[in-house]
A = this chain, B = another copy of it.
């Protein structure tokens, strides 16, 4: 999705293409990793007058419309990122919170299969894996316990 097309993308949802919305999408497109609401707010505010609640409202809107991802651990701030062409799964380090995107979906054929078996029209799915990144697993070593 190209920056010049945010206007169109928003209208396609049947929503108004406000400068705030376009700025939010632009800010997201500049992030190289999922960002918190206040990080996004700070970036947007540099280019466009806005309020924190507007950022919250629109991130939630864009998420519910499927344009962006929302992820994070319970009790932690949510993180948002632009949805790239393919849907994305992640590996998350439970120590340092590093996130690694998994390329390729291991569930495509399974989604069809389980849909047939359980009489469900499966439209989407969500999957994340948790563990330790290389660095954190080295730091911990076999120390703990």
Which residues of A approach B to under 8 Å, CB–CB? 70-79, 91, 93-94, 100, 102, 106-107, 110-111, 114-115, 118-134, 137
Contacts and interface: CB of A to CB of B under 8 A. Distances in A.
B131 A120 contact: yes
B129 A125 contact: yes
Contact of A129 (B93, B122, B134): B122
**Which are the 3 A-B pairs with shortest beta-carbon distances?**
A74-B78, A72-B74, A127-B127
Contacts of A129: 107, 111, 114, 120, 122, 124-126
A117 to B, nearest CB: 9
A91 to B, nearest CB: 5
- Copies of this chain, complex-wide, total 2
Contacts of A91: 114, 118, 120, 122
Contacts of A78: 74-75
A116 to B, nearest CB: 11
Contacts of A125: 127-130
Given A75-B78, A120-B134, A125-B127, 10 more contacts: A70-B75, A71-B73, A100-B120, A102-B118, A111-B129, A121-B137, A123-B131, A124-B130, A126-B127, A127-B127
Nearest to A94: B123
B137 A114 contact: no
A124 B131 CA distance: 7
